[in-house]
A and B are shown apart, each in its own frame.
Chain A
């Protein structure tokens, strides 16, 4: 029984009747049907009277009793008002001992349900309701079982909300997870491991990429241009772009070619400046302001020989005024290629600039046709030591044993305690268009074929 509802005039009228034993009774359809059956043909009434009389004087377990209520039971039971007796039907032991044929049985049964008063019926109703409500959840659940996606899980997975799928030793990877801070974002699982996403994540957290600036410049990317595209372009698109496509001319303040085109600052030829226009150099002042950092970084990655260059460069750009820039336009500043390892600034050789050449006034280590994602990843390789600590601070992480920001994209480094027990779904066992946000059944599991294995270890022994 559920809780009582509002008392209304309708309830009051019903109550007045029921409390006087009125208003409810054996259905008229039941009584009408039994009466009609009894009167279906004249002899039926005589038979029913005989059956009733027999039931009072003999047991249905006796041969006479059995025979009286089973005439035609195997051939045409309606003619004999019979209880059918079949191989699987042994009603005589379960239907009671005092009835008269089928119609008598129906009447007795209906009367038993209704009881001698509505108090009895109400109790029967309560018992029946309780039984139905308690039994059906099992039955409906088993009915849904065959199509339920949970069958592809282990029982551990079910009781742990699928967390044991990630790794059975829950405390182990939980500790690791607590240490990663916001390096990973469950809201964008498909971007796991994507360095562009990590950079964007940092930018979103701090409002900029300052801790990455040096590293970006080191590989030839303009931090402000990178920041712009991270704000305006989605990651999927960026992931498929080259540096040139992603940053355009403005962003290519720093890009490189395969050879060092006689980079010159302060009287030196500016390789690639042939493409430069006033627009192309619009950011020179900014470049100038940041160039000291750039070369400081280069110094860490290239050579100590650049020591002291920064000041010269800063001075150089400080002295470059916008009105002078048009004079550079259409000027072929490209000279004969020089070896990559001989970049020169202000007459100083930049030893160690081994993989890139500069363009638009400074140095870079990646070519314009380099993937933007790779360029970002490469830049992250230069984020080490104190800068890396800063990064971890930004992300609220405390991952141990990492040497550069690149390690923050390596699951084996992010999960040092648990990586060798992590498990996942192998490729090929899921729909081609795997969608993490496609919640199937109770959990986010994609469709798994019947013959496909459950989760397997991500890392081999």
Chain B
């Protein structure tokens, strides 16, 4: 008689009063073994046996660790760290991870919050050195702020002071000059050999001034950094996700109507996706509520959700129009019916 593994000793204790202990233990162990098969309770030995004979195992696939169903670390890490980069709580990809900026995802809240912070500091006069633009507005006013200088420089090219060869008007040496009378840029006054060089000189002063403000208002500055990093990161991720989704706005065909048709005819379904950052939210954000069409887009999504809710209790909605993919008019096709004469002609005597 075969010996039952010691690990199972005592497992069949309830049967000890009647059966040999080994037999009792083996029965209990076998019951546990079968008990691991899902829905085994609804099966018969015949159904299980017949199916089990045909099942395939991983025999020969030695690179798969069959000692456990656990995933290898490299597999887990790939999904968690490489693939699971979406904004969902567990890294799930949200629709806004590809289309969110247009709907205001992340950017609207962050920009609005930043606006409030900036306005607060503006009232305190902290931006005066940057934005001063005294009247009458001239590029070389002594009181011009740093941003004002940059404006005149890039928009109007106001500091372009080329040297023209008096003997050859076509011989021009380009140069740009920061007037010495502008207080804010006094330290950078002088001539620059390129437009970029002058700009860089001024932006250096801007950075110094912004750093001063940041040091004075560290909380505002930190919140600003966090907000702008979130926006930049979101936009960067969107662009990266576009590539993964084979979405390239630069090459998307313009002027096509088929996608629009399908999109509109799917508004009911689009409205059903009420997940975080999903299509219902995006369409609500994109819909122009100032137009009838925009309101109808939102209305159609609500209609879709209602259709599902009503269907759940067996109430059909009315109002669906008959929309056919083809006209009901029939084309005239070539005849396929033989006449009597044609039939006779085909028949040999």
Contacts and interface: CB of A to CB of B under 8 A. Distances in A.
A and B co-occur in one complex: yes
Interface residues of A, number: 186
Contact of A40 (B55, B118, B130, B267): B118
B111 A443 contact: no
A166 B51 CA distance: 14
B42 A187 contact: yes
Contact of B2 (A109, A190, A419): A419
B323 A120 contact: no
A57 B195 contact: yes
A322 interface: no
B263 A122 contact: yes
Given A129-B279, A159-B57, A424-B30, A412 B2 contact: yes
Contact of A151 (B68, B210, B228): B68
Interface string A7-21: 111111111111110
A128 B67 contact: no
Contact of B30 (A14, A84, A437, A458): A458
A14 B45 contact: no
B6 to A, nearest CB: 7
Interface in A214-259: 239
Contacts of B257: 19, 119
A135 interface: yes
B-side interface mostly:
helix
Contacts of B172: none
Contact of A424 (B32, B45, B260): B32
A123 B259 contact: yes
Contact of A106 (B92, B107, B256): B107
Given A79-B224, A374-B18, A67 B203 contact: yes
Interface string A99-110: 000110110011
Nearest to B223: A78
Interface string A65-98: 0011001111111111011101001010011100
A113 to B, nearest CB: 4
A156 B8 contact: no
B56 to A, nearest CB: 7
Nearest to B79: A142
B188 to A, nearest CB: 13
A127 B199 contact: no
Contacts of B320: 6-8
A22 B294 contact: yes
Interface string A150-171: 1111111111111111111011
A347 interface: no
Contact of A138 (B31, B42, B83): B83
B300 interface: yes
Given A40-B114, A182-B44, A444 B36 contact: yes
A318 B178 CA distance: 137
Identify which of B34, B39, B55 gathers the most chain A CB atoms within 10 Å of its CB.
B34
Interface string B111-138: 1101101110110000100111100000
A151 B67 CA distance: 11
Contacts of A432: none
Identify which of A20, A83, A102 gathers the most chain B CB atoms within 10 Å of its CB.
A102
A423 to B, nearest CB: 6
A84 B34 contact: no
Contact of B249 (A115, A141, A158, A409): A115
